[in-house]
């Protein structure tokens, strides 16, 4: 069974969602909101910060920037010129300067 995460989207109305974490490409944080981006379907926005979810995510999720947590299973490649990660959904995710060496080392080992 794939790992699940139950989240609450409290933007106007309280809704609870169950996510198959294998289907989540990335999480994007903006202030105290987190957007879950699935491989298929619509993004879900929650009124909690990224840090709240980090403790609940399996090891394949890595924080690469203060605003981004990615699922390593959806990495297409790394662009060394722009210091970003190319995802299978076509997005380019920046790698923070402070984390760049550790992230590149980690991703190099996991590929």
Distances (CA, A) of 12 to 9, 15, 16: 9, 9, 13
pLDDT at residue number 28: 97
Q: Is the pLDDT of residue 6 over 80?
A: no
pLDDT at residue number 9: 57
Q: What is the pLDDT of residues 15-64, one digit of tens each?
A: 666 778 899 999 999 999 999 999 998 898 888 899 988 888 999 999 99
Beta strand pairing call for 92-94 and 75-79:
unpaired
Backbone angles phi, psi at 108, to 5 degrees: -65, -35
Model-level pTM? 0.84
More confident residue, 108 or 99: 99
Backbone angles phi, psi at 102, to 5 degrees: -65, -40
């Amino acid at each position: 069974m794939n790992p699940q995460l139950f989240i609450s989207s409290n933007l106007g109305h309280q809704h609870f969602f169950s996510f198959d974490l294998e289907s989540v490409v990335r999480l994007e944080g903006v202030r105290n909101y987190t957007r879950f981006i699935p491989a298929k379907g619509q993004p879900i926005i929650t009124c909690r910060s990224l840090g709240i979810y980090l403790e609940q995510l399996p090891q394949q999720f890595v924080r690469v920037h203060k605003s981004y947590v990615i699922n390593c299973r959806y990495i297409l490649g790394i662009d060394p010129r722009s210091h970003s990660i190319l995802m299978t959904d076509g997005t380019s995710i920046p790698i923070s300067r402070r984390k760049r060496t550790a992230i590149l080392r980690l991703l190099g080992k996991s590929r």
